[in-house]
Amino acid sequence: MRPGWLPTICSSTRWAPWSAGCRYSILHRRKAAILTAAFSKLRDGGAFYQFTYGMQCPVSKAQLDELGLKVNCMGRVLLNVPPASVYRITRIKPARLADQVESDAV
């Protein structure tokens, strides 16, 4: 499978224990590594769907911003115990543009 080809990735990774903590903790870096690897396989306009328990996105706004990503809540099942949510995570700008900005900064 070639990089940047997949239209969608669906995940049920258990992020909850990784949600809290220092910005530079090993868990923060592990989350960043997982998302970076996933988005390296997604084509421009592709989406990462996260199925999770809880009422907020398991990836913090600060970390999404740091990775150039945005999130939308696609739906919730409140009658589920615990409540379940689906989040759609996408790039703020196309990958090629993001790579260009990173290489210009170096």
Global confidence as pTM: 0.78
Please compute the mean of the pLDDT values over residues 88-101 and round it to a whole number.
68
Assigned domain for 1 exists: no
pLDDT at 76: 96
Asked whether residue 85 is domain-assigned, the answer is yes
Q: Residues near 67 by Cβ (< 8 Å), separated by ≥ 6? A: 32, 35, 36, 39
pLDDT 10s digits, 41-62: 999 999 999 999 888 898 889 9
In what order do the strands lie in the sheet containing 6-11? 6-11, 42-53, 84-91, 69-77
Give 58 or 26, the one with higher predicted confidence.
Answer: 58
Q: Are 4 and 43 in contact (CB under 8 A)?
A: yes
Is position 41 within any domain?
yes
Query: Structurally, how many domains does the chain consist of?
Result: 1
Token code pair at residue 76: 């919730």
pLDDT at 106 over 80: no
Determine the structural domain holding residue 14 and report its residue range.
6-105
C-alpha–C-alpha distance, residues 36 and 49, integer Å = 14
The answer to the question of residue 63 being in a domain is yes
Q: Are the beta carbons of 21 and 59 closer than 8 angstroms? A: no
Higher pLDDT: 10 or 17? It is 10
